């Protein structure tokens, strides 16, 4: 990494009042987004590579009130003095001392870091207080709404109770009046009966002018027959692999199946001469043993020997297909049927040892 020494800017203009300092620093053709400004209470630094301006101020300033403005070709830096007075000089007398300037730079970095930390904590505290205040306002609003709704319910409840009481009073007055003057009640009932009695009780069907009207049935009735129901038979393509079929893997799968069939047919010559092609197929032996076990239900003493042979043959078929866990289950079932067979015990032990060795490895 090659480090280049910055070029110190010295051709600046500055002016002052009792409260402010105004510095005009040329930008030397730099862009505003390339500026880096560092300002503490006694040190300022403005850098835009390869140029840099720094100053150890004569007295303290209020960095919070100070501001930087970028104008056409120069930077206007307005500094607010902590104590209103005339400086008559911008930089401190120790500005040329390298050790003191190094300490001033470090102090400025620590000062700005502390101020940023305080500002961040203050902002976080303000956000927290605003959230709490908003929660309080929301709770207050909810309580007011709840009280308002409860007040409306109480008013409606009181209004309904008053109406019920008023109705009961009126009914009680009517009952009392009917008890005192029963003749008045009878007269009222008779008047109501006269009003509802029909004036003409003549049978209207005695009039000869009445004609019967026959309803005509609909001339056209939709008699379209319903469609006959049918059943669609679906035959799924048999597949050895549990994964979906992919055209890109078809050749590899067929090659694997061919090799499996060839390996299953590799037996001794003497053994091959005694068996047919179907009996040499391990899948055929496995399915045959499975079908035999299904036919040997329910398990009784008469078919024990046949079930024993079926379990042993299917277990052997599983082992030939390298499905040793399934084969072990069949051999264990055979061992339960004939616990005294040393040959079956030896086969079960050999399969278990093989499985444990593969699991541990």
Arithmetic mean of pLDDT, 233-242: 79
The answer to whether the CB of 89 falls within 8 A of the CB of 58 is: yes
Containing 330, the helix (H) or strand (E) segment is helix 324-337
**Of the given ranges (80-89, 162-171, 220-229, 262-271), which has the lowest mean pLDDT?**
262-271
**pLDDT mean across residues, the chain:** 79
Alpha-carbon gap, residue 125 to 117, rounded angstroms: 12
What local confidence, expressed as pLDDT, does residue 3 receive?
56
Alpha-carbon gap, residue 80 to 20, rounded angstroms: 5
What local confidence, expressed as pLDDT, does residue 271 receive?
47
What does the pLDDT look like over 63-121, one tens digit per residue? 888 888 888 788 888 888 888 888 888 888 887 888 888 888 888 888 888 888 888 88
Which pairing describes strands 7-8 and 51-56: parallel, antiparallel, or unpaired?
A: parallel
22: pLDDT strictly greater than 50: yes
220: pLDDT strictly greater than 60: no
Instruction: Count Cβ atoms within 10 A of the Cβ of residue 181 and give its class: 0-12 exposed, 13-18 middle, 19 or more buried.
Output: exposed
**pLDDT confidence bin for 152, thresholds 50/70/90:** very high
Alpha-carbon gap, residue 142 to 136, rounded angstroms: 10
Alpha-carbon gap, residue 50 to 66, rounded angstroms: 25
Three-state SS sequence of 137-155: HHHHHHHHHHHHHHHHHHH
What local confidence, expressed as pLDDT, does residue 55 receive?
84
Q: Is 81 helix (H, G, I), strand (E, B) or coil?
A: strand
Q: Give residue 338's Cα distance to chain centre.
A: 57
**pLDDT confidence bin for 158, thresholds 50/70/90:** very high
Instruction: List 26's β-bridge partners, or say none.
Output: 74
The DSSP-derived string for 153-170 is HHHHHHHHHHHHHHHHHH
What local confidence, expressed as pLDDT, does residue 56 receive?
82
Alpha-carbon gap, residue 40 to 46, rounded angstroms: 12
What does the pLDDT look like over 176-202, one tens digit per residue? 776 666 555 556 566 555 555 555 555
What does the pLDDT look like over 338-356, one tens digit per residue? 888 898 899 999 988 888 8
Arithmetic mean of pLDDT, 214-228: 62
What local confidence, expressed as pLDDT, does residue 149 receive?
92
What local confidence, expressed as pLDDT, does residue 155 receive?
92
What does the pLDDT look like over 281-334, one tens digit per residue? 666 666 666 666 676 777 778 778 888 888 888 888 888 888 888 888 989 988
What local confidence, expressed as pLDDT, does residue 207 receive?
54
The answer to whether the CB of 319 falls within 8 A of the CB of 307 is: no
Which pairing describes strands 13-16 and 20-26: parallel, antiparallel, or unpaired?
A: antiparallel
Q: Give residue 201's Cα distance to chain centre.
A: 79
What does the pLDDT look like over 251-289, one tens digit per residue? 888 888 888 777 666 644 444 555 666 666 666 666 666
Q: Kindly report the length of the chain.
A: 361
Q: Tell me the domains of the chain and their CATH numbers.
A: 7-92 (2.60.40.790), 261-360 (1.25.40.10)
What local confidence, expressed as pLDDT, does residue 182 receive?
59
């Amino acid at each position: 990494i090659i480090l280049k020494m910055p070029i110190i800017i010295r051709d600046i203009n500055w002016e002052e009042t009792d409260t402010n300092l105004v510095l005009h620093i040329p930008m030397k053709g730099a862009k505003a987004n390339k500026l880096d400004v560092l300002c503490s209470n006694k040190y300022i630094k403005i850098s835009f590579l390869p140029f840099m301006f720094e100053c150890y101020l004569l007295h303290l300033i209020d960095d919070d009130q100070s501001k930087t403005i970028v104008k056409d070709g120069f930077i206007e830096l307005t500094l607010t003095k902590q104590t209103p007075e005339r400086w008559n000089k911008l930089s401190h007398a120790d500005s040329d001392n390298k050790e003191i300037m190094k300490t001033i730079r470090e102090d400025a970095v620590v000062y700005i870091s502390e101020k940023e930390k305080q500002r961040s904590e203050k902002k976080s505290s303000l956000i927290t207080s605003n959230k709490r205040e908003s929660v309080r306002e929301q709770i207050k609003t909810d309580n007011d709404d709840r009280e308002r709704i409860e007040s409306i319910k109480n008013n409606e409840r009181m209004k309904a109770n008053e109406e019920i009481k008023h109705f009961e009073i009126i009914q009680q007055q009517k009952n009392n009046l009917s008890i005192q003057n029963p003749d008045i009640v009878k007269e009222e009932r008779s008047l109501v009966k006269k009003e509802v009695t029909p004036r003409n009780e003549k049978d209207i069907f005695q009039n000869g002018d009445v004609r019967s009207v026959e309803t005509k049935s609909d001339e056209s009735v939709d008699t379209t027959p319903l469609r006959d129901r049918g059943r669609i038979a679906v035959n799924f393509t048999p597949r050895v692999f549990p994964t979906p079929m992919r055209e890109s893997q078809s050749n590899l799968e067929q090659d694997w199946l061919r090799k499996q069939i060839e390996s299953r047919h590799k037996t001794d010559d003497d053994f091959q001469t005694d068996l047919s092609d179907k009996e040499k197929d391990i899948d055929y032996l496995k399915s045959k043993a499975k079908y035999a076990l299904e036919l040997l239900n329910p398990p009784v003493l008469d078919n024990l020997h046949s079930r024993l042979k079926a379990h042993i043959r299917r277990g052997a078929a599983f082992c030939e297909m390298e499905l040793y866990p399934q084969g072990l289950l069949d051999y264990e079932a055979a061992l339960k049927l004939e616990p005294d067979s040393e040959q079956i015990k030896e086969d079960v032990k050999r399969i278990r040892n093989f499985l444990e060795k593969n699991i541990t490895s």
